[in-house]
C-alpha cells in the first residue's frame, strides 16, 4: 500500500442521510454560507500568505541578515496558520491531484526532507526542475520549514556560505509550488457555482439531495479534522502507550509551532460550526449547542496555555503527562460530537478518512 494512502480522503463514501433531525430545506444556507464565508476566503488567504512568504524569501536571499531572517520565518508562520484554516477540506478541487501535498505533506517519514535537500545542495548545476523532481517532501510548507528552521538546514549562517545559492533555489521553488497549488484552489472555488465543487469525483453522495449531501460532507470533514488532531497531532508524538514520546513526530516541530497549529485549527473548526451548523443544532437542542461551543472554547484555551513548545514538553515526563490528559480531552470532545451531536443533524456516520482501509 502506498505510504500516504491513508491520507487520501474518503469523504463522500460513507455518509448517508436519514429522515430524522434537521429538515432538508435547512441545509442550503449552511452550504452557501460555508462556501462563501469560510472556504473561499480561506483559500484566498492561503494564496496571499504564500505570495507574501515568497516575497520575504526573495528579500532574505537577496540580503540575508538577522532582520530579514526573522521576517521570512514570521511569514512562514503566517502561511502555516492560513493552511490550518483550510486543511480540513478534503472535498471539491483538492480531492484530486497533488495540490494538498504540494502545500504540505504531513505526517512524513523521518529524515526524508533532510536527505532530499542535502542531495539537492550537492548538485553543482541545480535548477528548479531538479527541485520539482525531488518530490513533495521538499515542496510547500514542508520543504520551506526545513529550510528556514532546521538546525541542520535552515540557519542564517547557511545562507551566508557557499551553499546559499542552491539553498535559495530550493527555498524559492518550495514556496512557489505551494503558492501555485493554493492559487489554483482559490480560483477554482471562486469561479465554480456554490454546489458544483462538491460534485467532483465521489464527493456528492446524492445529486438529488445536493444541499443535504454537501452539508453532510462538511460536517464529516469537521469531525474528521478533530479526530486527525487527536490521532496524529497529539497521540502520534505523545505516544501514550509506550515508554517514550516521539517529539519529532509533532507537526511543525522544527519551527516549534505545533500548538499554534492545533489552536488555529480548532478556532477554524469552531468558526465552521458557528457559521454552518450552530443554528441547526440549536433548533434541536439549545443545551447541546452550548456544550459544543464550550467544548471548543475549553480546548482552545488549554492549548493556548501551554508554556513550552510541544517538542520540549514531550522531553519531560510532567509535560508529557499534561499532553496525555489533553489528548484524552480532544478525544472525548470528538466522541461527543460524533455520538451525541451528529444524530441531531440527521446524518449517519460510518468510517472516515482517518480509519484507513
**Helix, strand, or coil (residue 314):** coil
What are the pLDDT digits (tens) for 331-347? 999 999 999 999 999 88
Among 206, 227, 207, 193, CA closest to 90: 227
The predicted structure's pLDDT at residue 210: 77
Q: Of 82, 70, 296, nearest to 179 (Cα)?
A: 82
Q: What is the pLDDT of residue 87?
A: 97
Taking 3-state DSSP, the helix, strand and coil percentages for the chain, each rounded to the nearest 5, stand at 70, 0, 30
pLDDT at position 92: 87
Kindly list the structural domains of the chain, giving each domain's residue range(s) and its CATH number in brackets, ordered by start: 11-36+195-348 (no CATH), 39-191 (1.20.1420.20)
* Bigger pLDDT: 285 vs 208: 285
pLDDT score of 356 more than 70: no
d(CA 32, CA 140): 30
The pLDDT of 144-162, averaged and rounded, is: 94
pTM beyond 0.85: the answer is yes
Does residue 21 carry a pLDDT above 70? no
Amino acid at each position: 500500500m502506498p505510504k500516504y494512502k491513508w491520507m487520501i480522503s474518503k469523504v463522500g463514501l460513507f455518509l448517508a442521510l436519514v429522515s430524522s433531525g434537521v429538515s432538508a430545506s435547512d441545509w442550503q444556507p449552511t452550504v452557501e454560507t460555508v462556501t462563501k464565508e469560510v472556504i473561499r476566503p480561506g483559500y484566498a488567504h492561503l494564496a496571499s500568505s504564500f505570495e507574501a512568504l515568497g516575497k520575504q524569501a526573495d528579500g532574505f536571499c537577496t540580503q540575508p541578515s538577522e532582520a530579514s531572517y526573522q521576517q521570512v520565518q514570521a511569514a512562514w508562520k503566517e502561511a502555516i496558520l492560513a493552511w490550518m484554516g483550510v486543511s480540513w477540506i478534503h472535498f471539491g478541487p483538492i480531492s484530486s491531484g497533488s495540490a494538498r501535498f504540494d502545500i504540505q505533506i504531513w505526517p512524513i517519514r523521518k529524515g526524508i526532507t533532510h536527505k532530499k535537500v542535502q542531495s539537492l545542495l550537492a548538485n553543482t548545476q541545480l535548477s528548479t526542475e531538479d527541485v520539482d523532481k525531488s518530490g513533495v517532501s521538499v515542496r510547500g510548507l514542508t520543504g520551506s520549514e526545513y529550510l528556514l528552521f532546521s538546525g541542520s538546514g535552515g540557519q542564517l549562517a547557511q545562507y551566508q556560505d557557499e551553499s546559499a545559492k542552491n539553498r535559495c533555489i530550493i527555498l524559492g521553488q518550495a514556496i512557489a509550488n505551494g503558492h501555485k497549488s493554493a492559487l489554483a484552489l482559490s480560483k477554482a472555488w471562486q469561479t465554480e457555482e456554490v454546489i458544483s465543487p462538491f460534485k467532483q469525483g465521489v464527493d456528492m453522495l446524492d445529486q438529488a439531495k445536493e444541499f443535504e449531501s454537501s452539508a453532510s460532507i462538511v460536517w464529516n470533514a469537521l469531525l474528521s479534522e478533530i479526530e486527525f488532531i487527536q490521532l496524529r497531532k497529539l497521540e502520534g508524538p505523545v505516544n501514550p502507550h509506550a515508554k517514550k514520546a516521539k517529539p519529532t513526530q509533532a507537526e511543525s516541530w522544527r519551527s516549534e509551532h505545533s500548538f499554534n497549529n492545533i489552536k488555529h485549527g480548532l478556532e477554524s473548526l469552531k468558526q465552521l460550526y458557528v457559521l454552518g451548523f450552530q443554528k441547526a443544532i440549536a433548533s434541536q437542542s439549545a443545551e447541546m449547542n452550548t456544550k459544543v461551543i464550550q467544548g471548543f472554547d475549553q480546548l482552545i484555551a488549554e492549548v493556548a496555555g501551554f508554556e513550552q513548545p510541544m517538542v520540549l514538553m514531550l522531553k519531560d515526563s510532567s509535560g508529557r503527562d499534561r499532553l496525555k490528559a489533553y489528548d484524552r480531552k480532544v478525544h472525548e470532545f470528538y466522541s461527543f460530537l460524533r455520538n451525541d451531536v451528529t444524530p441531531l443533524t440527521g446524518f449517519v456516520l460510518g468510517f472516515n478518512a482517518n480509519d484507513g482501509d
